Amino acid sequence: MSNDTKAAGIIGTGSYVPETILKNSYFEEKLDTNDEWIVSRTGIKERRKVKPEMATSDIATYAALKAIEDAKLTPMDLDMIIVATVTSDMSFPSTACIIQKNIGAEKAAAFDISAACSGFIYGLSIASQFVKSGSKKNILVIGAETLSKITDYDDRNTCILFGDGAGAAIVSCVEEGFGILSAYLGSDGRGGDLLKLPAGGSRMPASRETIANSQHFIKMDGSEVFKFAIKIMGEAAEKALSLCGMEKEDIDYLIPHQANIRIIESATKRLKISKDKVFVNVDKYGNMSAASIAVALDEAKRTNKLNKGDVVVLVGFGGGLTWGSAVMKWT
């Protein structure tokens, strides 16, 4: 352990989305909804779904191996694995431990965090503290979800929104002045009932009644979450910028949580940045909760949207309620 404070940043990314595509027409056939409503209210055209036998750790493992390769590391180089998810394989062991076994990262401490859609930013922030303090060198941060497993496909209010996917990043030491410059995390537990999975925990263990009442599926007050999101996205991004002495004019690229195109457009407007500086893939994948920003970051990188020295802002919100933002100088 060293006393020097180091710079921490992302040195590799990876992502994976399942092959099966659910287009809006799939819902048109089953429910009282249509493509026009879904696209105009959400921007979503299709989303991915895992096969029944696949769990979150399976798709997260694919994303993790790609990130490790991209960073030119091996699994044995990892000191820590942090997994952000609301769809862990099971309550315990953690999904992080299952991935550790899958990839053979024998030297890594592994744990999950629960911050819903903000989870990947929470994970990056935790990882950056360990790397900056010098106590850990290479940390794998994953945002991964199989939301199809907790989605009620009879509930038109929620089922059109969610999809499955996994994204990963390696946080490590980077050149001074680069990497994660600031992170801002927040929560408001008073809004916890707005977005939740009621049953299956210690409050309401699984029973015949909970299954009969569909309480193992996501419940959401969409319009209240929408109002919260509109307010918090811009605020959180501005706060992270101010923490590192920057302003919204300094943003070169924005990677927002992909929940709804109208929420993304509202943040874009408030931050006064042009649309070509904002990454959008909500049309292809829907809302993948903790995986959304992680997959978007990898796709932005692989499509050469991020250049060395660019000021890249990540911002997200989610159940809890939680929110998080981070400013990076891209390495």
CB atoms within 10 A of CB 323: 30
For residues 194-213, which are near ligand UT7 according to CB under 6 A?
195
Residue with tokens 């991915």: 48
**Which residue among the candidates 24, 117, 138, 159 is catalytic per the annotation?**
117
Which of 7-15, 206-214, 225-233, 277-285 is the region at the interface with ligand UT7 (rule: CB under 6 A)? 225-233
257 is catalytic: yes
For residues 31-50, which are near ligand UT7 according to CB under 6 A?
33, 37-38, 41-42
The most distant pair of C-alpha atoms in the chain lies apart, rounded to whole Å, by 61
Ramachandran class of 26: left when φ > 0, alpha when ψ lies in -120 to 50, beta otherwise: alpha
If the CB atoms of residues 41 and 302 are measured against ligand UT7, the closer one turns out to be 41
Q: Which of 93, 134, 186, 222 is in the footprint of ligand UT7 by CB under 6 A?
A: 222
For the residues of 182-245, what is the DSSP string, one character each? EEEEEE-GGGGGGEE--SSSSSS---HHHHHTTTTS-EE-HHHHHHHHHHHHHHHHHHHHHHTT
Q: Of 249, 235, 254, which Cα lies nearest the Cα of 330?
A: 254
DSSP 3-state assignment of 165? Answer: strand
Which of 105-113, 146-154, 206-214, 219-227 is the region at the interface with ligand UT7 (rule: CB under 6 A)? 219-227
Q: Which of 156, 196, 231, 277 is in the footprint of ligand UT7 by CB under 6 A?
A: 156
The shares of helix, strand and coil residues in the chain, as percent rounded to the nearest 5, are 40, 25, 35
281 is catalytic: no
Angle between helices 222-243 and 261-270 (to 10 degrees): 40
Work out whether 24 is an interface residue with ligand UT7 (CB under 6 A): no
The count of residues interacting with ligand UT7 (CB under 6 A) is 20
117 is catalytic: yes
Work out whether 20 is an interface residue with ligand UT7 (CB under 6 A): no
Looking at the annotation, which residues are catalytic?
117, 257, 287
By CB under 6 A, name the binding residues for ligand UT7: 33, 37-38, 41-42, 117, 156-157, 160, 195, 220, 222-223, 225-226, 229, 259-260, 287, 318
